[in-house]
């Protein structure tokens, strides 16, 4: 595996792979890699001839009072597990490289997809996401790009961006990877102490209880939402940001559950803000 730190070097390697007729898979990450990230990497390695993983904590998707400086980082660990997985190239740019002095061009997606859920709670977040993903797509020019379902809104936003900007890229979405007790894997879980981690389990438990209610026949979105909020609220240390039930593609709120349904939650537990979701396809 090669470690690349400049755009010119990256482009030379991509050009060589293209000239050799290789299919290119790409996994953009912010590092501090865990089994959730590696499920994307491993699938990319199975489905492509040449795999690029980027490690970049993107400052433009963090708000002024968020955890950019504290975001966990462990480059040595990340590179070791990527090398073991068979990745061909690790791209690790600096913030100054990606956003040099005078940088002024941003990709902004308007409408429902970025106005709800985390977009409502984190103004400017998705401007940062769409900008950095666009830049990385232009640099890597992959055939396939891999994202995790835990970031369900990000997936919807990027799929729309790919359509709107005519990227010739297949967006591949991989399932949420959970700890044995149900907690969705996240780099921010590293912030949790023992008590907070126990409290955090209420998020997945509430979602699983909602799924059980739906499988038993409940189709009223307001009732399912109330069930989830009540369950999460039973743990005082967990501060709910949102509980939403929306169409999984348009992210429009639902009153009756049908089609592709996304139940999404976000909450603060101590320092970290955690997100989780489940998806169901209903008649």
The residues that are catalytic are: 37
For residue 261, which of 280, 242, 277, 276 has the smallest C-alpha distance?
A: 280
Angle at the Cα of 210 from the Cα atoms of 206 and 216, rounded to 5 degrees: 145
Q: Long-range contacts for 255-258 (Cβ within 8 Å, ≥24 apart)?
A: 255/220, 255/221, 255/222, 256/219, 256/220, 256/221, 257/214, 257/218, 257/219, 257/220, 257/221, 257/224, 257/282, 258/219, 258/282, 258/283
């Amino acid at each position: 595996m090669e470690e690349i730190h400049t755009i010119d070097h990256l482009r030379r390697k991509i050009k060589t792979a293209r000239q050799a007729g290789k299919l290119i898979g790409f996994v953009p990450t912010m590092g501090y890699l865990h089994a959730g990230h590696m499920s994307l990497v491993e699938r990319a390695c199975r489905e492509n001839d040449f795999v690029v993983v980027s490690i970049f904590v993107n400052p433009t998707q963090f708000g002024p009072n968020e955890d950019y400086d504290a975001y966990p980082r462990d480059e040595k660990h990340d590179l070791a597990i990527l090398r073991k997985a068979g990745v061909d190239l690790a791209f690790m740019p600096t913030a100054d490289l990606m956003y040099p002095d005078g940088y002024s061009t941003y990709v902004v997606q308007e409408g429902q997809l970025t106005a709800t859920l985390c977009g409502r709670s984190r103004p400017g977040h998705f401007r940062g996401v769409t900008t950095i993903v666009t830049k990385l797509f232009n640099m890597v020019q992959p055939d396939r790009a891999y994202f995790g379902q835990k970031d369900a809104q990000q997936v919807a936003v990027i799929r729309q961006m790919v359509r709107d900007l005519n990227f010739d890229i297949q967006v591949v979405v991989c399932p949420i990877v959970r700890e044995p007790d149900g907690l969705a894997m996240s780099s921010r879980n590293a912030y949790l102490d023992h008590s907070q981690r126990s409290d955090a389990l209420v998020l997945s438990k509430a979602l699983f209880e909602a799924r059980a209610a739906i499988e038993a026949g409940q189709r009223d979105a307001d009732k399912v939402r109330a069930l989830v909020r009540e369950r999460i609220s039973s743990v005082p240390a967990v501060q709910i940001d949102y509980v939403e039930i929306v169409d999984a593609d348009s992210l429009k709120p639902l009153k009756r559950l049908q089609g592709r349904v996304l139940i999404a939650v976000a909450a603060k537990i101590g320092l970290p803000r955690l997100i989780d979701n489940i998806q169901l396809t209903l008649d």
